[in-house]
Amino acid sequence: MKPLERGIVSDYDLKRGSVKLGYGVMILFICIMVFSMLYPFLTTLFNGVKGNAEVNSFPPHFFPKEWHFENFHKAWVYIALPKFLRNTLYIFFGNMIVTTIVLGLAAFSLSRLNVPGQKYIYLFFMIALFIPPTTYIIPNFINLKDLHLLNTFWAFWLPAGASAFNLLILKEFFDGIHMDLIESGRIDGASEFRLFVQIAVPLSIPIFSTIAIFVFAGAWNDWYWPSLVLHNDSHYPLSTAIYKYVLNARRLDTNIKFALLSMVMLPPVLFFLFFQKYIMRGLHVGGVKG
């Protein structure tokens, strides 16, 4: 039988009382953290299957006395969820395409090309990270208005190509790709664009998957910016529709609100569970076999 590798703490260390106490404290804090994360999610889910009178009863109780799964059907037909979901996916896929093409090429240029003033360009984008996002909401709005891009999806796609954060993390990942791979492609006559498409992008699937999680979370959760640049519900993403037509609704039963919120919470969780397996893939993609 193959012996197990020694961990941070050995079996001998675990026999000591002080080590057991330390492990117990860590496990306690982990349980508290897990509970604090799961409690709001489970509360929303259970309130979504309660009767309206039970949701508004006092004192409240965690588990429902009666299960009303028909609440999800009522929530589904209350607003046009498929339309708002489609708009959210349009924003997400557009943002990812712009991020991959614009920011990917820019990051690859800063990483692998001799760009004049490269150090100062990198410093400029680093400084941009310290600027509060609220300070450029009005300039972005005015620019989009002058370009006649309000009430269009370009009001989301165009700013996605100016993310300093995504640019810098892409550059840092491209810096980790072994230079021998790039040089071998140049020797074979590949252009810089072909190097980006056929070498940099395939090796960067982990970082693009990570960025996809961030972009999806932003497209799914942001409601304030869409409420500024969109003037009707034909282009509303799901979060803005939920804010305007569910959270601010006065005649909608509370249990139906919770049912709607439950359905909205599930897709980001599933999206993360699907993409997180790609994050650690290619940990040694920059290595070259001898």
Domain ranges of the chain: 79-248
pTM (2 d.p.): 0.79
pLDDT for the residue 92: 93
pLDDT for the residue 180: 81
pLDDT for the residue 11: 65
Instruction: Count how many residues are written for the chain.
Output: 290
CATH class of the 79-248 domain in this structure: mainly alpha
Q: How far is 229 from 152, CA to CA, in rounded Å?
A: 8
Tokens at 250, concatenated: 């006065």
Cα dist from 40 to 43, 44, 245, 257, 265, whole Å: 5, 6, 21, 14, 11
**Angle at the Cα of 93 (from 223 to 212), degrees rounded to 5?**
85
> What averages of pLDDT result for each successive group of 10 residues across the chain (290 residues)?
54 69 86 90 88 82 86 87 91 93 91 84 88 86 91 91 89 85 83 86 85 88 89 88 85 87 85 69 42
pLDDT for the residue 54: 82
